[in-house]
C-alpha cells in the first residue's frame, strides 16, 4: 500500500479526480490518500502561494502528489503554485507524453507518439527581473551544469526504461553560446554514455516548427525550461485534445503528477469533463511507484473505451463516436473494460522489472578562475546619447590597470567606431579589460602588468560615481582554466 497526497483543485478538478480515484480503485491500485487543499480557496485566505504551510508536511511525508488543476488568480501579488511546488521540492524534470489516439481522437498526425522532457527549475524561470533604467528591464537566464545534466540524464534513462529509441535536444546555442551552449555540450557528453539510444540536436526555432508539422518524426525531446514550456503545449495541441494529456514533475525524492489542462471554468459543474488527462497522469504515477501492471490495465482499458466510440464532448466526432458521455459514465465504461486491450491502437506494455529511475550527477570539477575585466552597466542620457562622448569620459577613468575596450547598447557595439544609425537606449554596457589579460601569455604574470583584483573594480566604480555617471550593475569577466567564458561584443 502506498500513501500519496492528492488535491482536488478548482473548477473541474473534483469531477476528474473523483473519476480517476474510482478507476484506480477498480483496477486494484494499492493506494491510500491524504488530501490537501490548494488553489482558489487558499489564495482567497490570503496565502499568496496557493498552498497552506501545513500541507508541505504532508507532501514531504508522502513524496508523491497527484494534483487536479487549479484556477490561477488574476492580478499581482500571487505566486504560481506550480512553480512554487516544483522549486521547493526540486522537481527538475517535467515529462509530458503526447500521443495520438487516431482515428478515435481527431488529429492531423495519427502516428505521433513523443515525450517532451523539459528542464523545470532554471533558465528564465528563476524569476530574477530588474528594471535598471527608465527604458530597460532585464530578466536573468541562469543555467547550471548540474541542472542541465540532471534533466538530460533523466531523458536518456527515461528513453531506456520506456523502450524509446532516440533523444533529441533543442537549444538556441547559435545565439546563446554559453547558456544554451552548456546544455548542448552536456547533452553530447551524456549521449556518449548511451550508445544504445540515438541522439540529435535541433535549433529550437526549426525544432518547434518541425514538431508542429512532422511530430511523428520525434521520440523523446529534451530542452530548457522556456522552450519546453512552449513546445510541450504545441505537441499537446497537435496530438488532438488538451483533455487527454498527463504530465509528471520528477525530482530526486519527490514527484508531482497532473493533467496538462487547466480548471476549465467554462464546463465546471456540468459533469462533462474528460478525466483522461488526470488519469494518464495517474498512470505515470503508478509506474513511478512500481504499480505498472495497474497502469497498463487502465491505459489499455482507456484505449478500448476510445475505440468503442465512448467519448466525452471534447473528443466527440460525428461518424466516429458512438456515445457522448459525461465524466462519470466515461469512468464506468472504462471500468467495465478493465482487463481488455485495444484492438487497433497500440496496447501499452510496461517492463515490470524496471527499477525506478535514479539520477546521479557528476561532481563539479574545480576550475582555475582568473579575473580579466568587468562590464559596468550605466544609466546615461547625456550629450544626446552620443556614445563617443561617454567613451571619452570613461576611458579616462579606466585607471593604470585597465582599459575601456568597448561600449555596447542592447548588445550592439557603439564605441569605438559605432555607426550613427544605431538606436541607443539609456542602458550602456561598458567593458573594461585588465591590461594583464591583453598581454601575450608569455608576459602574463611576469610583472609587465599587475593581475586584476576585485578591489580594482570597486575603485573603478568609485571613479565612475565621482564623475557623476550612474552605474547600475557590473558583471565580472573571467577566464576559467585559461578559456574565455563570457560573450564577446559584436566586432570585438
Which residues ranging from 229 to 248 are in contact with ligand NAD (CB under 6 A)? 242-243
The 74-93 contact track toward ligand NAD, x by CB under 6 A, reads --------x-----------
**CA–CA gap between residue 329 and residue 317 (Å, rounded):** 17
Tell me how long the chain is.
Answer: 492
Other beta carbons less than 10 A from residue 233's beta carbon: 16
Can residue 273 be called a binding residue for ligand NAD (CB under 6 A)?
yes
Span 93-132, contacts to ligand NAD by CB under 6 A: none
Strand partners of residue 130: 138
Provide, rounded to whole angstroms, the least separation between the CB of residue 325 and ligand NAD. Answer: 12
Taking CB under 6 A as the rule, does residue 70 contact ligand NAD? yes
The yes or no reply on residue 266 touching ligand NAD (CB under 6 A) is: yes
Binding test (CB under 6 A) with ligand NAD, winner from 20, 49, 62, 71: 71
Residue 281 beta carbon to ligand NAD: minimum distance, rounded to whole angstroms: 10
Span near ligand NAD by CB under 6 A; candidates 53-61, 255-263, 281-289, 378-386: 255-263
Terminal CA-to-CA distance of the chain, rounded, Å? 63
Is the CB of 82 or the CB of 434 nearer to ligand NAD?
Answer: 82
C-beta closer to ligand NAD: residue 10 or 122: 10
Environment class of 352 (CB within 10 Å of its CB; exposed 0-12, middle 13-18, buried 19+): exposed
In angstroms, give the least distance from the CB of 69 to ligand NAD.
Answer: 4
Pairing of β 470-480 and β 483-484: antiparallel
Residue of closest CB approach to ligand NAD = 262
Q: Which of 96, 141, 153, 261 binds ligand NAD (CB under 6 A)?
A: 261
State which of residues 50, 51, 58, 69 lies at the interface with ligand NAD (CB under 6 A): 69
Nearest distance from residue 350's CB to ligand NAD, in Å?
25
Q: Residue 410, SS3? A: coil
Distance CA 311, CA 308 (A): 9
275 versus 418: smaller Cβ distance to ligand NAD: 275
CB nearer to ligand NAD: pick between 86 and 405: 86
The answer to whether residue 464 forms part of the interface with ligand NAD (CB under 6 A) is no
d(CA 378, CA 385): 12
274 binds ligand NAD (CB under 6 A): yes
Establish if 264 lies at the interface with ligand NAD (CB under 6 A). yes
Q: Which residues pair with 251 in a beta bridge?
A: 91
- Strand pairing partners for 123? 142
- Does 20 contact ligand NAD by CB under 6 A? no
Nearer to ligand NAD, 20 or 179 (CB): 20
Segment holding 139, helix H or strand E: strand 137-139
Rank residues 83 and 212 by Cβ distance to ligand NAD and give the closer one: 83
Give the number of other CB atoms < 10 A from CB of residue 450: 13
DSSP secondary structure string, 201-253? EEEHHHHHHHHHH-GGG-SEEEE-HHHHHHHHHHHHHHHS-TTT-EEEEEESS
Closest distance of CB 74 from ligand NAD, Å: 8
| Beta-carbon contacts of residue 96 (< 8 Å; ≥ 6 apart) | 115, 116, 117, 118, 232, 235, 236, 245, 246, 247, 260
With CB under 6 A as the contact rule, the residue among 103, 146, 262, 309 that binds ligand NAD is 262
Q: Is the peptide bond before 269 cis (omega within 30 degrees of 0)?
A: no
The C-alpha atoms of residue 435 and residue 432 are separated, in whole angstroms, by: 9
- The alpha carbon torsion through 262, 16, 251, 205 (nearest 10 deg) reads -40
Pairwise CA distance, residues 489 & 353, whole Å: 53
Contact flag: residue 258 with ligand NAD (CB under 6 A): yes
As a three-state string, the secondary structure of 26-77 is HCCCCEEEEECCECHHHHHCCCCCCECCCHHHHHHHHCEEEECCCCCCCCCC
Return the number of the residue (215 or 277) whose C-beta is nearest ligand NAD: 277
Instruction: Give yes or no for residue 300 binding ligand NAD (CB under 6 A).
Output: no
Shortest reach from residue 140's CB to ligand NAD, in Å: 25
Closer residue to ligand NAD (CB): 50 or 207: 50
Using the minimum distance from each CB to ligand NAD, give the nearer residue, 300 or 327: 327
**264 or 333: CB nearest ligand NAD:** 264
Q: Is 277 in the site for ligand NAD (CB under 6 A)?
A: yes
Candidates 18-26, 145-153, 260-268, 383-391: pick the segment binding ligand NAD (CB under 6 A). 260-268
Least spacing, CB of residue 282 vs ligand NAD, in Å: 13
Element (DSSP H or E) covering residue 430 = strand 427-434
The 8-class DSSP code of residue 105 comes to: S
Binding site for ligand NAD (CB under 6 A): 12, 16, 69-72, 82, 242-243, 258, 261-267, 273-274, 277, 314
Amino acid at each position: 500500500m502506498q500513501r500519496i497526497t492528492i488535491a482536488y483543485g478548482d473548477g473541474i478538478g473534483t469531477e476528474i479526480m473523483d473519476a480517476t480515484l474510482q478507476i484506480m480503485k477498480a483496477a486494484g491500485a494499492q493506494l491510500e490518500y491524504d488530501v490537501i487543499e490548494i488553489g482558489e480557496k487558499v489564495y482567497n485566505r490570503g496565502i499568496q502561494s496557493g498552498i497552506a504551510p501545513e500541507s508541505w508536511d504532508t507532501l514531504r511525508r508522502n513524496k508523491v502528489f497527484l494534483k487536479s488543476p487549479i484556477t490561477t488568480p488574476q492580478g499581482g501579488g500571487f505566486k504560481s503554485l506550480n512553480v512554487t511546488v516544483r522549486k521547493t521540492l526540486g522537481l527538475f524534470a517535467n515529462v509530458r507524453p503526447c500521443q495520438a489516439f487516431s482515428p478515435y481522437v481527431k488529429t492531423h498526425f495519427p502516428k505521433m507518439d513523443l515525450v517532451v522532457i523539459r528542464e523545470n527549475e532554471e533558465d528564465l524561470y528563476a524569476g530574477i527581473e530588474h528594471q535598471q533604467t527608465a527604458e530597460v528591464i532585464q530578466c536573468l537566464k541562469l543555467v547550471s551544469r548540474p541542472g542541465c545534466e540532471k534533466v538530460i540524464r533523466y531523458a536518456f534513462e527515461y528513453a531506456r526504461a520506456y523502450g524509446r529509441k532516440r533523444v533529441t535536444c533543442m537549444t538556441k546555442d547559435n545565439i546563446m553560446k554559453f547558456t544554451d551552449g552548456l546544455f548542448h555540450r552536456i547533452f553530447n557528453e551524456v549521449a556518449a554514455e548511451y550508445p544504445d539510444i540515438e541522439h540529435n540536436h535541433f535549433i529550437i526555432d526549426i525544432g518547434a516548427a518541425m514538431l508542429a508539422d512532422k511530430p511523428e518524426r520525434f521520440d523523446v525531446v529534451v530542452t530548457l525550461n522556456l522552450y519546453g514550456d512552449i513546445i510541450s503545449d504545441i505537441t499537446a495541441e497537435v496530438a488532438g485534445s488538451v483533455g487527454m494529456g498527463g504530465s509528471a514533475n520528477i525530482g530526486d525524492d519527490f514527484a508531482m503528477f497532473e493533467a496538462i489542462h487547466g480548471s476549465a471554468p467554462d464546463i465546471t459543474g456540468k459533469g462533462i469533463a474528460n478525466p483522461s488527462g488526470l488519469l494518464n497522469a495517474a498512470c505515470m504515477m503508478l509506474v513511478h511507484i512500481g504499480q505498472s501492471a495497474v497502469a497498463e490495465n487502465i491505459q489499455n482499458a482507456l484505449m478500448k473505451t476510445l475505440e468503442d466510440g465512448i467519448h466525452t464532448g471534447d473528443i466527440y466526432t460525428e461518424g466516429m463516436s458512438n456515445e457522448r458521455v459525461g465524466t462519470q459514465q466515461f469512468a464506468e465504461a472504462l471500468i467495465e473494460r478493465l482487463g481488455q486491450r485495444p484492438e487497433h491502437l497500440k496496447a501499452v506494455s510496461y517492463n515490470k522489472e524496471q527499477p525506478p529511475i535514479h539520477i546521479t550527477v557528476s561532481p563539479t570539477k574545480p576550475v582555475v578562475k582568473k579575473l580579466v575585466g568587468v562590464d559596468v552597466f550605466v544609466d546615461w542620457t547625456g550629450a544626446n546619447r552620443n556614445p563617443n562622448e561617454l567613451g571619452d569620459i570613461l576611458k579616462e577613468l579606466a585607471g593604470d590597470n585597465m582599459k575601456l575596450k568597448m561600449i555596447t547598447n542592447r548588445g550592439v557595439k557603439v564605441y569605438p567606431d559605432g555607426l550613427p544609425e544605431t538606436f541607443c537606449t539609456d542602458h550602456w554596457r561598458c567593458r573594461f579589460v585588465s591590461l594583464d589579460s591583453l598581454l601575450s601569455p608569455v608576459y602574463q604574470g611576469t610583472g609587465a602588468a599587475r593581475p586584476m583584483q576585485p578591489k580594482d573594480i570597486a575603485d573603478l566604480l568609485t571613479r565612475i560615481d565621482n564623475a557623476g555617471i550612474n552605474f547600475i550593475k557590473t558583471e565580472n569577466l573571467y577566464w576559467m582554466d585559461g578559456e574565455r567564458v563570457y560573450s564577446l561584443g559584436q566586432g570585438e
